[in-house]
């Protein structure tokens, strides 16, 4: 798994090919889509990520993007765990990205590039996030997560896998929150959503499970 992450790291946001995928590239993508992530050949990750969804047959594009999302999120999560639970967020870091997906739709993420989602619809991105093992969070519990972790939403975007879709509705905007299933922030969110769980364990104690130190 470590080698898999390193392979993804080299091609975090690769320069995608602009040519139609060859038969071998299509076979490679099909191998990635049918194989559990933990069983993938890490040496093939750069080749997979360099294909680009726009070069694939239409039936493979959505699942390809979802798998790429999962690989990027897995890399981000593993790197974060190496830093420990207490992070020192850097709001000026170039990895904190905000970009326009299409008119009226913006995305905030340190996991994905604009090329991965450019021009896609809100429902399409949400569907791909779910296929890539991202869980939807309710805005209702975000203040609780911020209080427990001492992290701002921007901290959670920069230092974790929190991904925010901001869609314009009339004169206002509506935010949709997602986080990768293995992100430690998910544990804190569960505590906020169901405060009674895990009271008798050390891990779910009164102290926040993840902290941001400013």
Q: What pLDDT digit, counting tens, does each position of 32-87 carry?
A: 999 999 899 989 999 998 898 889 999 999 999 999 999 989 888 888 877 777 78
Residues 6+ away with beta carbon under 8 Å from 11: 45, 46, 49, 50
**E runs forming strands in 105-205:** 105-109, 134-137, 163-169, 172-180
- Determine if residue 9 is left, alpha or beta; phi over 0 gives left, psi from -120 to 50 gives alpha, anything else beta: alpha
* For the chain, percent of residues with pLDDT exceeding 90: 43
Q: Which domain holds residue 171?
A: 2-212
Task: Say what the pLDDT of residue 36 is.
Answer: 92
Q: How many domains does the chain have?
A: 1
Q: What are phi and psi of 177, to 5 degrees?
A: -110, 135
The Cα–Cα gap between 40 and 32 comes to: 7
As a whole number of Å, the end-to-end CA separation of the chain is 32
pLDDT at 27 over 50: yes
């Amino acid at each position: 798994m470590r080698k898999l992450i390193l392979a993804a790291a080299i091609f975090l946001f690769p320069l995608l090919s602009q040519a139609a995928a060859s038969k071998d590239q299509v076979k490679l993508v099909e191998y990635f889509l049918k194989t559990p992530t933990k069983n993938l050949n890490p040496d093939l990750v750069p080749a997979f990520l360099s294909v680009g969804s726009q070069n694939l047959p239409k039936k493979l594009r959505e699942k390809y993007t979802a798998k790429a999302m999962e690989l990027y999120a897995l890399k981000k999560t593993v790197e974060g765990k190496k830093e420990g639970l207490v992070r020192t967020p850097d709001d000026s870091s170039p990895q904190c990205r905000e970009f326009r997906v299409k008119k009226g739709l913006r995305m905030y993420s340190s996991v994905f590039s604009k090329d991965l989602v450019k021009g896609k619809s809100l429902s399409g991105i949400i569907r791909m996030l779910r296929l890539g093992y991202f869980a939807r969070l309710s805005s209702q519990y975000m203040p609780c997560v911020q209080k427990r972790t001492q992290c701002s939403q921007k901290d959670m975007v920069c230092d974790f896998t929190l991904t925010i879709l901001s869609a314009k509705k009339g004169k206002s905007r509506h935010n949709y929150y997602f986080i990768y299933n293995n992100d430690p922030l998910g544990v804190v969110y569960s505590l906020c959503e169901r405060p009674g769980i895990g009271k008798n364990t050390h891990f779910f104690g009164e102290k926040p499970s993840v902290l941001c130190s400013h």
